[in-house]
Structure 1
């Protein structure tokens, strides 16, 4: 398995376990979320906000899993197709605690010094029922 694919799979496992994601990101990391039902205007954030978002996720999500379907590698870049499933731990807007979420995701990564420098994602959520 390629070192970048291994890093991503370890990162997904850490997120699932509610662990620290900081070891996976380069200090100059940036995350871009393109518009989706959960973020209608999309969002761009630096490392501090990535780590803050991970902390918020640990409080808001009771459980989550990543099913990696495809990984395409090209030098310092990777494209990943996955399905993310989660259950909310708390009320999130119109969604009640205990709501099941499923998103089909196209995620694209650039690496620097063996770490994630940029992550961009297109999250396609299945219908939400709150």
Structure 2
């Protein structure tokens, strides 16, 4: 899929996250002044805005909840420093969440918009539409 260096970076970033990257391995994709916005969804009803430290902390917490995960990439487009991805996220729970037992599969259809400068992600906006019912 990658045809543009910024798409390549965005895909590598998602794959690293799916592989369980945390700490410095995950931070390597982000500019120190990153702003990540997660729009309201079934897991984060109020939405969230995170800086780099909060992104890294969320990744650590996610390791306790998700046993394994992957992304299926459907579409990507880049223009200038902006990238848009359409992906399906599939995760398997390590622990129960709501009415779902450990081992249950979660699915979300996601649109992610990134701004990349200096070879790093400086802004990320996620629209996560969870298909799995909680």
When the two structures are superposed, what TM-score results if normalisation uses the length of structure 1?
A: 0.93
Structure 1 outlier segments of 4+, above 4 Å: none
Aligned to 1:114: 119
**Number of residues paired by the alignment?**
129
Distance in 2 of aligned mates of 1:119 and 1:38:
18
What residue in structure 1 maps to residue 106 of structure 2? 101
Q: C-alpha displacement at 1:12, in angstroms?
A: 1.5
Runs (5+) with no aligned partner, structure 2: none
Q: Which residue of 2 aligns with 1:13?
A: 15
Contact 2:108 2:132 (C-alpha < 8 Å) held by counterparts? no
Runs of 5+ unmatched residues, structure 1: none
SS of the residue 2:28 aligns to: helix
* Counterparts in 2 of 1:29 and 1:14: CA distance versus 1, 3 Å: same
The match for 2:92 is: 87
Deviation by residue 1:83-117 (Cα, 9 ceiling, x = unmatched): 00000111234432112100000110011211000
RMSD: 1.2
TM-score, normalization by structure 2: 0.90
Q: Which moved more, 1:53-62 or 1:80-89?
A: 53-62
SS at 2:85 equivalent:
strand
Q: Identify the residue that residue 34 of structure 1 maps to in structure 2.
A: 39
